[in-house]
Amino acid sequence: MEKHVLRGQVQIDHKTKNLCKRLKPGNIAFIAHEDLDELAAEEMVEKRVKAVINAQDTFSGKYPAKGAEYLLRNKIYVLDKIGEDVFSSLAEGENISLVGNTVLKDGKEIAVGRVFTEETLQKMKKQAEDNLENKLDLFVQNTLEYARKEKDLLLKNIKPPQLKTKISGKHVLIVVRGKNYKNDLLTIRSYIKEMKPVLVGVDGGADAICELGFKPHIVIGDMDSVSNETLRKAGEIIVHAYRDGKAPGLSRVIELGLNHKTISQVGTSEDVAVLLAYENNPDLIVLVGAHSHMLDFLEKGRKGMSSTFLVRLKAGEKIVDARGLAHLYRSGIKWQYISVLVAAALFPILVLAYLSPLVQHFIHLFYWRFWAI
């Protein structure tokens, strides 16, 4: 049987979200990402990569990770389980070849892996479904344990920095770099134009706000996936620091010479953004790309994701997910609705005009002038 052959320039990074910033059409992406999540797969497909090489297991069967399926659905060649050692054998931008399950550089074999096929996918999906009950049990146990440790997040108010952006009494739209976040944001574009909410971007979510033609009022996070251009456009920058005061993203903001504030708080940057909005008394908090169910939490990779669970409990009365909001704003004003409104408005005018003797006289003159023989 003839082996599948692909050639291209390789781009390398252990962190998929960092790699996606540098990918170009036709590249071969080389990652180390066990149980590839759907968001990472979507971004690589969006960049139109030719193939994906994974040092780890793209779909281990521990839970129903969606990334591998998304790549196959979009006809992306996947070669995985080749091992971490290959990172030292390749450099960014080198040309390589994939021949079946083998990676070649300068015609020499440097690694052998598993070609991930539809058959592999179906086998691993069955295993993942069988493991789901155990994963659910562990998820609940971890969530309860972390919730006990982090209960202050729910019981006590945070100490937010003083904002120059007014939030009280307004809608707040928080954009997180999560699954389908760009499509969901595009869907509610009419809502943004109409309601003019306070726009909050969590790291890379802020880039999506700019791509849609808006400017974020606030960018919050550890600054690991947002672009310099977006940071310069932001009305305010808030760097998320850990409880011990360490803030990995602070040095980057300082190097750019941008004004900023910090907030020290347990939980993810997504959680802190919601709490920051909530503590400033908004009318509504709309979430785009946020984590909302178990598979989201498992793909995020944080045990239990209890902070997000607790934040949802605390601020849930004011939270609406974008997909629910989209049902109201998905299509904007449809032309058939406009035509009905126009017809309804014109009908009484036409009736009154027809009953007017002056209008009737004009109609008769018009008829005899142009149509009567």
- Domains by residue range for the chain, with CATH: 5-122 (3.50.30.10), 159-329 (3.40.50), 335-370 (no CATH)
Q: What per-residue confidence (pLDDT) applies to 355? A: 60
Query: What share of the chain in percent tops pLDDT 70?
Result: 80
The percent of the chain in helix, strand and coil, each rounded to the nearest 5, is 45, 20, 35
Q: What is the pLDDT of residue 53?
A: 96
- Does the structure show a pLDDT above 80 at 210? yes
At residue 153 the predicted structure's pLDDT band, cuts being 50, 70 and 90, is low
Rg from Cα positions in the chain? 27
Buried b or exposed e, range 14-44, using 16+ CB within 10 angstroms: eebbebbeebeeebbbbbbbbbbbbbbbbbb
Q: Over 80: is that where the pLDDT of 295 sits?
A: no
pLDDT averaged over every residue in the chain: 84
pTM above 0.85, yes or no: no
Please tell me the distance from the alpha carbon of residue 139 to that of residue 294, in angstroms, as a whole number: 8
What is the per-residue pLDDT for 174?
Answer: 96
Whole-number pLDDT of residue 326: 62
pLDDT tens digits, one per residue of 27-59? 999 999 999 988 899 999 999 999 999 999 999
Other beta carbons less than 10 A from residue 72's beta carbon: 19
Question: Nearest 5°: CA angle at 58, between 56 and 60?
Answer: 90
Q: Could you report the per-residue pLDDT of 94-114, keeping only the tens digit for each? A: 999 999 999 999 999 999 999
**What is the rounded distance in angstroms from the CA atom of residue 247 to the CA atom of residue 131?**
37
Q: What angle separates helix 118-149 from helix 306-315, to the nearest 10 degrees?
A: 60
CA distance 146 to 297: 14
* Distance between start and end Cα atoms, the chain: 84
Per-residue pLDDT at 264: 87
Q: Where are the alpha helices (DSSP H) in the chain?
A: 16-20, 38-46, 67-73, 118-149, 152-155, 181-187, 189-195, 205-211, 228-233, 250-255, 269-279, 294-300, 306-315, 322-329, 335-355, 357-370
What was the pLDDT predicted at 335? 47
Following DSSP, what letter does each residue of 224-250 receive, concatenated?
SSS-HHHHHH-SEEEEEE-TTS--TTH
Q: Is the C-alpha dihedral spanning 79, 81, 86, 92 positive or negative?
A: positive
Distance CA 201, CA 175 (A): 5
Phi, psi (degrees; rounded to nearest 5) at 310: -70, -40
pLDDT band for 366, please (50, 70, 90 cuts): low
Q: For 336-364, what is each residue's pLDDT tens digit?
A: 554 555 555 555 656 555 566 665 666 66
Least Cα distance to 316 among 297, 292, 280, 288 occurs for 292
